[in-house]
């Protein structure tokens, strides 16, 4: 494509971004305070390619606060940037600089960002030597990535978002690159969206319903200058929680490196996952951007309208920092709110994703002064938006500014990452004293958190591990973090891991210790799968992936973060247990009930929906209960609101270091208890498939080994 014979006219104010038509491209960008705007068009994505600059006229090319134009004859694949001129007055929050080229906040793809040097986007304040780095007389047009005009057409082959109800979901959290970057992955397209497609047979075998990806919106992995003190290698922004462009999928995750290829390949991945019955959930970061604080680069929002997009300090030269990353997006400003809604709708309507997990979600509830709002309009709009009505919305219900809203996140139908579930289950299985009663609350769906505001058990996202912290294997292998490779002298990462190494720090070849650690892994998985709520597992935990004790691998693009697929064979017994436990949950409506337990009988059998026992079969004394807990769950359809009766269940927990014989409640009339799961037994007896469960005829006691749990199901002895 050449830039010859292009005609430019006034264009339209909406939609924002670069909208392709059969005749050309409409460009529209918001800036309330700019005094001049210039569109820059490039002949190609190549550095040094010819370009033209199109000044926009206030009379013909501006409607309200939107600058716009229509370029006839322009095609998909064209590249562009903006320049915005206006007042440079940091004390008033104005940071316009006509020498800076700027990305379109609505850009749907960027050119290669992998070699972008953020330092070249820095400038200086000539009026304040040593002050903030925001003004530059240097033109950085040759160094900055460019926006790409995208053709949204794609052969979806009839695909639409799957939108499974949360209560029927099992979420698998993973990083796109980590999944297949390791040489042991066997992927033809390692570290890419197509690499994910290659792992679909594995996902189907595992049985998960939904994949939650760490950020895939474009970010600059090379924004750090710190090195690994052990290897000398540069560390990277590996996780991607530092967004450059909210609408644009990460280009380096695509094996197709043609302009816009990342958009097509992302869509291919979603389509193929959906064909396999697997949802796509995106971890999305609206709380801040990669522009950082007043010392950071200017490449988009700051240069277009700094005081609109960010929450500024009382001295408006500086930024409020509720994200811990230098700046905070002004999420409840109407302009930013519209950007957020437009972005979410785009990912749902054009990219067919099924849901979002909102990083540091509490920031979306802060006003322009940083105060937490009682009824935040942005959170309510997301929850009530008609396009997003069936889309999963999951909040990380806290931020780095001190907000903690687990159990009372505002805005309606939001689900939440339940860190109280994580911590209480970890403490119980570590054998901390007086944790059994807290375990019971978490098993029953965390009604202490979600019942009071009308939410349901499935609004609790139950997890033991996530990307942020130890892997499950490391949780039972290390007493402390080992983050020296991050180059921060092991100061980074959480010190409160609620972990235990069982007598030896790190890997061991001692069989008894390895068996104990594997049993604890099975305990964690089994506990999560029989708890009310929506389970989320960390990718690789199902085959005991380790990060060598690093609990904050945000900067490790190497074998610390990559999944070593040789572990799948090495730990095949654990993997078998996990996939059978997932299938067990999804087979039994009793663990996916939509309402909280009442403790009363709501069906013809007069059995309470849940009953609690100590090891002797008595009602527990919750004030003095030890490490033993049992519960009976009624599986009748009147209790589970399912279309069929389920089995009843008797579940026993023993977090002590000694075996314990449990006295069991009587099985329902004309039925017997059958052993389905016992984490104290070796594979394959630790979990038995349907029809292979072991009958316990008239047996009133069952021995549960130390640090083990067992699950009994009721079955008709004549019909199975």
494 touches 483 (CB < 8 A): no
Average pLDDT over residues 202-207: 98
Q: How confident is the model at residue 626 (pLDDT cuts 50, 70, 90)?
A: very high
pLDDT digits (tens, 9 = 90+) for 569-599: 999 999 999 999 999 999 999 999 999 998 8
Domain containing residue 22: CATH number: 2.60.40.10
363 within some domain: no
Tell me what the mean pLDDT of segment 522-549 comes to: 98
Catalytic residue among 223, 359, 485, 614: 359
| Burial class (CB within 10 angstroms; exposed 0-12, middle 13-18, buried 19+) of 48 | exposed
Q: Where are the beta strands (DSSP E) in 231-372?
A: 243-249, 279-284, 355-358
Question: Could you give the percent of the chain with pLDDT greater than 70?
Answer: 96
Instruction: Give the per-residue pLDDT at 141.
Output: 82
Average pLDDT over residues 493-520: 97
Residue 462 β-bridge partners: 418, 535
pLDDT confidence band for 526 (50 / 70 / 90): very high
Over range 152-179, report the average pLDDT: 97
pLDDT over 90 at 648, yes or no? yes
**Residue 153, domain member (yes or no):** no
Total number of domains in the chain: 1
Higher pLDDT, 81 or 670: 81
pLDDT for residue 282 is more than 90: yes
pLDDT at 317: 96
CA dist 327 and 307 (Å) reads: 12
Is the preceding peptide bond at 614 cis, omega within 30 degrees of 0? no
Is residue 212 annotated as part of the catalytic site, yes or no? no
Question: What's the pLDDT tens digit per position in 402-459?
Answer: 999 999 999 889 999 999 999 999 999 999 999 999 999 999 999 999 998 999 999 9
> What are the helix (H) ranges across 360-495?
377-384, 419-429, 436-443, 447-450, 472-475
> What is residue 128's predicted lDDT score, i.e. its pLDDT?
52
**454, part of any domain:** no
Q: Residue 659 domain-assigned?
A: no
Predicted TM-score (pTM) of this structure: 0.96
Residue 539 maps to a domain: no
Q: Reply yes or no on whether 396 is catalytic.
A: yes
Question: What mean pLDDT, rounded, does the chain reach?
Answer: 94
**Domain for residue 435, yes or no?**
no
Alpha helical stretches, state H, 61-144: none
- Contact yes or no for 28/68 (Cβ under 8 A): yes
> Is 563 part of any domain?
no
pLDDT, tens digit, 9 for 90 and up, residues 53-96: 999 999 999 999 999 999 999 999 999 999 999 999 999 999 99
Active-site choice (396, 416, 424, 541): 396
In a domain, 79, yes or no: yes
Q: What is the pLDDT of residues 118-150, one digit of tens each?
A: 766 665 555 554 457 666 666 678 778 999 999
Tell me the residue range of the domain where 134 lies: 7-148
Q: What is the mean pLDDT of residues 609-623?
A: 96
For the chain, give the longest Cα–Cα distance. 89
Strands 415-418, 460-463: parallel, antiparallel or unpaired by DSSP? parallel
């Amino acid at each position: 494509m050449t830039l010859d014979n292009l005609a430019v006219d006034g264009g339209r104010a909406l939609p924002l971004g670069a909208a392709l038509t059969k005749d050309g491209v409409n460009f529209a960008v918001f800036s309330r305070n700019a005094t001049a705007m210039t569109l820059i068009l490039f002949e190609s994505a190549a550095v040094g390619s010819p370009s033209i600059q199109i000044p926009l006229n206030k009379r013909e090319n501006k409607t309200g606060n939107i600058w716009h134009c229509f370029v006839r004859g322009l095609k998909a694949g064209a590249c562009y940037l903006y320049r915005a001129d206006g007042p440079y007055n940091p004390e008033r929050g104005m940071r316009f600089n006509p020498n800076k080229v700027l990305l379109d906040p609505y850009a749907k793809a960027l050119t290669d960002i992998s070699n972008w040097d953020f330092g070249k986007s820095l400038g200086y304040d000539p009026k304040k030597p040593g002050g903030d780095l925001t003004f530059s007389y240097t033109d950085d047009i040759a160094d900055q990535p460019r926006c790409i005009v995208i053709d949204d057409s794609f052969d979806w082959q009839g695909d639409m978002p799957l939108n499974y109800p949360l209560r029927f979901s099992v979420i698998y959290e993973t990083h796109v690159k980590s999944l297949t970057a390791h040489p042991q992955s066997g992927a033809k397209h390692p570290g890419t969206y197509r690499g994910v497609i290659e792992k679909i047979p594995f996902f189907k075998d595992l049985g998960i319903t939904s994949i939650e990806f760490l950020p895939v919106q474009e970010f600059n992995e090379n924004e750090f200058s710190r090195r690994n003190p052990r290897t000398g290698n540069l560390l990277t922004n590996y996780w991607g929680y530092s967004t450059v462009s909210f609408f644009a999928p990460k280009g380096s995750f695509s094996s197709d490196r043609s302009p816009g290829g990342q958009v097509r390949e992302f869509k291919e991945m979603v389509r193929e996952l959906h064909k396999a019955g697997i949802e796509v959930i995106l971890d999305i970061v609206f709380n801040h951007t990669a522009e950082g604080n007043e010392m950071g680069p200017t490449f988009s929002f700051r240069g277009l309208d700094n005081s609109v997009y960010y929450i500024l300090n009382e001295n408006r030269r500086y930024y409020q920092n509720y994200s811990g990353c230098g700046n905070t997006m002004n999420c409840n400003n109407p302009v930013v709110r519209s950007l957020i809604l437009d972005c979410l709708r785009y990912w749902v309507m054009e990219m067919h994703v099924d849901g979002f997990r909102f990083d540091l979600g509490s920031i979306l509830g802060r006003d322009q002064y940083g105060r937490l709002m009682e009824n935040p309009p942005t959170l309510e709009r997301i929850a009530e938006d008609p396009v997003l009505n069936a889309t999963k919305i999951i909040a990380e219900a806290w931020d780095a500014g001190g907000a903690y809203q687990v159990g009372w996140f505002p805005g309606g139908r939001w689900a939440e990452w339940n860190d109280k579930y994580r911590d209480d289950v970890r403490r119980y299985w570590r054998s901390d004293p007086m944790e059994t009663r807290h375990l019971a609350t978490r098993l029953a769906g965390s009604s202490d958190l979600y019942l009071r505001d009308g939410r349901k058990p499935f609004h609790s996202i139950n997890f033991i591990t996530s990307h942020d912290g130890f892997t499950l294997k490391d949780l039972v292998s290390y007493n402390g973090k080992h983050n020296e490779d991050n180059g921060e002298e092991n100061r980074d990462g959480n010190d409160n891991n609620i972990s235990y190494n069982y007598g030896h720090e790190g890997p061991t070849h001692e069989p008894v210790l390895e068996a104990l650690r594997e049993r604890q892994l099975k305990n964690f998985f089994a506990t999560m799968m029989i708890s009310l709520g929506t389970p989320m597992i960390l990718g690789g935990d199902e085959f005991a992936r380790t990060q060598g004790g690093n609990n904050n691998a945000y900067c490790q693009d190497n074998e610390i973060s990559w999944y070593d697929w040789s572990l799948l064979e090495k730990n095949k017994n654990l993997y078998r247990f996990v996939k059978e436990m997932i299938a067990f949950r999804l087979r039994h409506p009793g663990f996916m009930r939509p309402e909280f337990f009442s403790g009363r009988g709501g069906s013809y059998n007069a059995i309470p929906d849940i009953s609690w026992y100590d090891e002797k079969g008595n009602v527990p004394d919750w004030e003095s209960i030890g490490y033993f807990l049992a519960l009976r769950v009624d599986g009748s359809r009147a209790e589970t609101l399912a279309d069929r009766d389920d089995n009843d269940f008797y579940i026993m927990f023993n977090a002590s270091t000694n075996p314990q014989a449990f006295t069991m409640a009587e099985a329902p009339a004309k039925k017997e208890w059958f052993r389905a799961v016992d984490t104290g037994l070796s594979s394959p007896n630790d979990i038995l498939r349907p029809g292979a469960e072991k009958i316990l005829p008239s047996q009133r006691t069952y021995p549960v080994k130390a640090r083990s749990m067992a699950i009994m199901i009721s079955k008709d002895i004549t019909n199975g």
